[in-house]
Structure 1
């Protein structure tokens, strides 16, 4: 029995090593570091502000720089003690995905998901308002979009606004939400900041690990 266990362990380590070998040095698959993390990789499917799978996303997996992933594992351990689990919507994002956002923004007639994601805004203003950028921190490999769920039920915790909603409701300083929703945002924010992740003021779900290992590099390898 011991020999079988050792063989299975070696096979697991081999598979992890083989999978990581497809990534650039110092990048990892988040689930290899945090096996119980919940993934809902929005840009690999159609439930996003474009309404389609985004260029560069071939599989619904989350990739981060190794330092960011290791820090995120500490966040997960702390949140589990409080009955929560991390849920990831996006992590590393290829530059070609950002280019897809740019080409989409140049098509004013394409408003398929306006009612859900940007009902109060004109899509041409999404760049100037800071919701979309021609260069994304996600492409540097240490930025992540995430929320928390109940660890036992898997039910998403109410943050007072949906992921990728473009509007003031998504801002960290937005006040027109309930005390419980404010507390839920604080639970995530406090845990993330404790382990080196800095928030983005306009999106309650968006955090960047500091110091970034690749602060000036915008990668374009596929998410697969």
Structure 2
């Protein structure tokens, strides 16, 4: 697999050129413009801006649809542009006022991670997570149906995947290796251990039930999705109708630039 790797030393990154399409966990993306000069994204670590927001960075672990740590996730951190992080801090204030907390699953995503997703999708024998993350969709259709693709708004640094958690938060159970896989579409009590509220499906569930306005999820999940969408849109974020967890900061500072810095504290600054 090849991926854009043109990283400058320190805190700069070169625009990552990728093919157009529908990014995984994303709104449809245009083909990126020609290369730009090296730029400094000004990423921050979310916990440095607001340590009240919970984190569960799934791609830095094996608890994701690939079944292993994803390329580029060297540390389990949420990196964001300073503008998006400050906006998320304000959303957290609003969430706490109604007895809920935000919990982020993914924030800035390096281009190499999206390349890793596409490489995985092209390997028909790597199907070990199907029973959990795409139980009703053939792996060969994940790209055609828009569940996987490139580029991704996450690589611009102002998009987050997140959920709500009750306050005080229940304990987050440890995900044990070799655990029995349960469909992400199963009832809340049976799915992958997660201390979040019921959203009708698990995170990264490649299924129509994950569509934000699905009328096939129960009333509790519909209300929780409505609350999350209300909090985020009031805070300046735009949702994605096919994934209840996905939100992009409307006033993002890098709307046309896709970065490939690894997820590590050294990429912030």
**Does 2:85 match 1:69?**
yes
**Does 2:181 match 1:165?**
no
Written as runs of structure 1 = structure 2, the 5 A alignment for 1:73-222 is: 73-154=89-170, 155-222=195-262
CA distance in 2 between counterparts of 1:109 and 1:87 reads: 33
CA distance in 2 between counterparts of 1:63 and 1:212 reads: 14
Name the SS for the 1:145 alignment partner: strand
Structure 1, unmatched stretches of 5+, are 1-20
CA distance in 2 between counterparts of 1:146 and 1:52 reads: 20
Greater helix share, structure number: 1
CA distance in 2 between counterparts of 1:205 and 1:77 reads: 19
TM-fit CA distance, 1:22: 5.4
Name the SS for the 2:115 alignment partner: helix
TM-fit CA distance, 1:37: 1.0
**Does 2:38 match 1:38?**
no
Report the TM-score, using the length of structure 2 for normalisation.
0.74
TM-fit CA distance, 1:26: 2.4
* Aligned twin of 2:191: none
TM-fit CA distance, 1:153: 3.0
Name the SS for the 2:84 alignment partner: helix
CA distance in 1 between counterparts of 2:256 and 2:149 reads: 15
CA distance in 1 between counterparts of 2:126 and 2:51 reads: 38
Superimposed CA distance per residue, residues 62-110 of structure 1 (whole angstroms, 9 cap, x where no aligned partner): 0011111111111100000111111110000000001101110110111
Structure 2, unmatched stretches of 5+, are 1-9, 13-39, 171-194, 265-269
Name the SS for the 1:146 alignment partner: strand
